[in-house]
Chain A
Amino acid sequence: MSLAASILAGDRLALTRLLSYIENGTAEGRAALSELFPYTGRAHLIGVTGPPGAGKSSLVNHLARHYRIPPDGTPPRRVAIIAVDPTSPFSGGAILGDRLRMRDLAGDAGVFIRSMASRGSLGGLATATAGVAQVFDAAGFETILIETVGAGQAEVDIARLAHTTLVVETPGAGDDIQAIKAGILEIADILVLNKADQPGADSVERALRTMLELAHPTPHIFQDHPPVETAAMPASPQPMWLPPILRTIATRGTGIAELASAIAQHAAYLRQSGEWQRRERYRLEAELNTALREILMARWQASIPQARYREIVESVAARRLSPGEAVEKLLNSFGGAHAPPADPALD
């Protein structure tokens, strides 16, 4: 039986092994992922982001418990958790400590927790996180909770991957100018004010609310990327989604049921408005582009003489060549036939 077939049959050893192959970028992993691709697209991907120490792991822990033992008597959902922690830029090592807050989930076969190191990726996720989520999706996990590294203002990759993004804030996190800056707050589908029993909760909620009222609801189409053909999508007759603010005390589980119900409402909104397909489509296109970029780079690098490459790097280091000129030189001597004509503005 192939690795992919074993995973579809529920083999957890095959599952965990494939996740490693995907993290390590092996050919075997890519092949299995392609085999599993037709089985993906069913799971609800929920991103949880926010500054370090905001309580993301504890919230994930309680949400997972909620989905495992739904208080409203609905059938339990299988939950996968992907917890990303930062890789040390110096040693390349990492301490992945998110399981520490997820002890309650041990012993439940319906929960699978996988820790990932960011491995140099700067957007709050690891490069392989999307692939890992796809494997869980194909393996039949209905809810996938993705916890980012402790994120500040710019780690917005999660909104490209998740259907629903929770941004967790805590009391005492800065004034209202912090709240109107671009970035992490903008990507929130749901704002969670955790540690709501601590002083300053009211003023943070006020600042967040002001930010939301000032903001014109924006469709989540990333502008740092060639625009997606939105014209082909049916115009949504639905009103825009306005991110609610929910108060929680994650260590005690307070506010979790309300949060889960807001998440369910958001999922329903996405499906009714056509936004779900729009996000999926955008995500798959972004994934295709990332994969393409990586493979092209790797192929190109394998095709050039390393000595020549090192030589040019040395010239850049010695400031004899600018990085821009170095790129031209490399592309012109190797694989330059496909290079676009030089930008006239540079002449």
Chain B
Amino acid sequence: MSERKIRVLIAKPGLDGHDRGAKVVARALRDAGMEVIYTGLRQTPEMIAEAALQEDVDAVGLSILSGAHMALVPRVLELLKANGQAHVKVFVGGIIPDEDVLQLKSLGVFGVYGPGALSETYINDIRQAVAG
């Protein structure tokens, strides 16, 4: 009887401790009417994929400022697939060089957002990715 809500997992894989961006995004998605599961710092890809399964989320946002995105993101995508959750859409936030952005997108990441990204941009992208 309640309408379908978009559920998003916001996770910070890897070892950097800068979670301000992740919290800002979580808050913006909340204000856009989404349900945001916030898991906090220093998550392994395994923990993230497991949480995505238990929470049955529509999308996963990975915040990475350590530079390890080319190791962490493909691993998360792989584990989601292995868990039968290939339908979960993945986006990335952080400081990512342009050539890596292209590569991440070719792996199936629908959006990569750097500093200064507007909340309307990623909110719309998430809605579109989840709907389509």
Interface residues of A (CB under 8 A from B): 12-13, 16-17, 19-20, 23-25, 87-88, 91-97, 99-100, 103, 106-107, 112-115, 117, 119-120, 127, 294, 298
Contact = CB atoms under 8 A, between A and B. Distances in A.
Contact of A92 (B33, B37, B47): B33
Contacts of B40: 97, 99-100, 103
Given A25-B1, A93-B36, A100-B38, A16 B56 contact: yes
B39 interface: yes
A23 B33 contact: no
A112 B2 contact: no
B20 interface: no
Nearest to B48: A106
Nearest to A81: B54
A17 B40 CA distance: 24
Contacts of A91: 30-33
Contacts of B37: 96-97, 99, 115
A106 B36 contact: no
Interface of B: 1-5, 7, 26-27, 29-40, 44, 46-47, 50-51, 53-56, 83-85
B31 A24 contact: no
Given A88-B31, A107-B50, A119-B2, A95 B26 contact: yes
Contacts of A99: 37-40, 51
Contacts of A114: 54-55
A222 to B, nearest CB: 24
Contacts of A100: 38-40
Contacts of A115: 37, 55
Nearest to A113: B54
B32 to A, nearest CB: 6
A122 B3 CA distance: 18
Contacts of B51: 99, 106, 113
A112 B50 CA distance: 9
30 contacts: A13-B83, A16-B53, A16-B56, A23-B2, A24-B3, A24-B4, A24-B5, A88-B30, A91-B33, A92-B5, A92-B33, A93-B5, A93-B30, A93-B32, A93-B34, A93-B35, A95-B30, A95-B38, A96-B35, A96-B38, A99-B37, A99-B51, A100-B40, A106-B47, A112-B54, A113-B54, A115-B55, A117-B35, A127-B2, A298-B1
Contacts of A120: 2
B34 to A, nearest CB: 5
Contacts of B38: 95-97, 99-100
Contacts of B33: 91-93
Q: Which 8 A-B pairs have the closest CB atoms?
A: A93-B30, A25-B1, A16-B56, A100-B40, A106-B47, A92-B33, A93-B33, A20-B56
Contacts of B47: 103, 106-107
A87 B39 CA distance: 17
A19 B56 contact: yes
Nearest to A112: B54
Nearest to B30: A93
Nearest to B38: A97
B1 A106 contact: no
B53 A12 contact: yes
Contacts of B36: 93-96
A103 B38 CA distance: 12
Contacts of A20: 7, 56
Contacts of A87: 35
B1 to A, nearest CB: 4
Given A100-B38, A103-B47, 7 more contacts: A13-B84, A17-B56, A25-B2, A93-B5, A94-B36, A99-B38, A114-B55
Nearest to B84: A13
Nearest to A90: B31
Nearest to A14: B84
A100 B39 CA distance: 5
B2 A16 contact: no
A12 to B, nearest CB: 6
B16 to A, nearest CB: 17
Contacts of A25: 1-2
